[in-house]
Amino acid sequence: MANLDNKGERIAKRLSRAGICSRREAERWVANGRIAVDGKKISKPATLVTNQSIVTVDGKKIAEPAQPRLWRYHKPRGVLSTNNDPEDRPTVFDHLPKNLPRVMLVGRLDINSEGLLLLTNDGELARKLELPSTGWIRRYRVRAYGPLDESRLKSLEDGITVDGIKYREIQATLDKRRGDNSWITVSLQEGKNREIRKVMEYLGLQVNRLIRISFGPFQLGELHRDTVREISARILKEQTSIGTPKPKRLSAKLPPMKPGEGPTDPEPLKRNRNKNAHRRR
């Protein structure tokens, strides 16, 4: 844990690092009078705390921030990337093993998308990995229906504006065609809400399958559907603690996708369908 004896850190950051909530949630909790430091309720989210400060939420002392950890999770379709759903639809957290500590998502995948999700117990790590400025490329395999003009895919490298929303550089490469369907590898750094689906629709294509196969240096690989695997502390440190990576240009040639790096057809994923769907948290 960092030495905070002299300068301290903001209460919102402490709660986020401890995996209790996001910084934004912490600010709301402070405004609602739920947070106390050394026995006194606080009213300012800029309140500083040190290693010696006793922080409570609703009267319960929070634990010291644990060592940051990171997991890979293969999210199936039909599962929401949220903590809870008012319509009581299944969420990622319903599917996680019961022995997993409290975790939060690094980014999101919509309900009809599948593939790699990163999970962490550290809110500050999640925040860092989500920022476009970190420079990590997110790569997807996309199956789309409709007539495909490869020159229009190439033009996405210059960015595109759809319905008033500006999307940054996107690299999209046609892998193969099968009837009226095309498999496309898409790489981007930002990942706005439903970005790939909206951009493809603008090009006259209907996405009927979307699989995230990598997030920065971390790969989906052969991780079975609905399965969680922890990333070793050594690899996590190597990939996240040595400064902030310089953003890479997506238009630069990416290394070719290796066999097993990500599914190219529906069939390989069917073998493990709902394998661990009985798990609830």
Q: Is 110 a catalytic residue?
A: yes
Instruction: Name the residue among 73, 81, 99 with its Cα closest to residue 227.
Output: 73
Give the H/E segment covering residue 261. Answer: none
Domain boundaries, the chain: 9-61, 70-270
Instruction: Name the residue among 33, 83, 38, 40 with its Cα closest to residue 58.
Output: 33
Report pTM: 0.74
214: helix, strand or coil: strand
Query: Is it true that domain 70-270 has CATH number 3.30.2350.10?
Result: yes
Q: Which residues contact 183 (CB under 8 A, 6 or more apart)?
A: 141, 142, 143, 174, 175, 176, 177, 264, 265
- Predicted confidence at residue 246, as pLDDT, reads 45
CATH topology of domain 9-61: 3.10.290
- Predicted confidence at residue 266, as pLDDT, reads 39
- Predicted confidence at residue 262, as pLDDT, reads 42
Q: Which two tokens stand for residue 43?
A: 């009213």
Instruction: Name the residue among 143, 191, 185 with its Cα closest to residue 168.
Output: 191
Describe the crossing of helices 123-130 and 233-240 by its angle, rounded to 10 degrees: 50
Beta-bridge partners for 207: 144
Select which of 5, 94, 110, 122 is catalytic: 110
Residue 114 φ then ψ, to 5°: -140, 175
Average pLDDT per block of 10 residues along the chain, 281 residues long? 60 82 85 92 89 90 85 97 89 93 91 96 87 88 95 94 94 94 94 92 96 96 96 91 49 45 39 36 37
- Predicted confidence at residue 248, as pLDDT, reads 52
pLDDT tens-digit readout, 142-172: 999 999 989 999 999 999 999 999 999 999 9
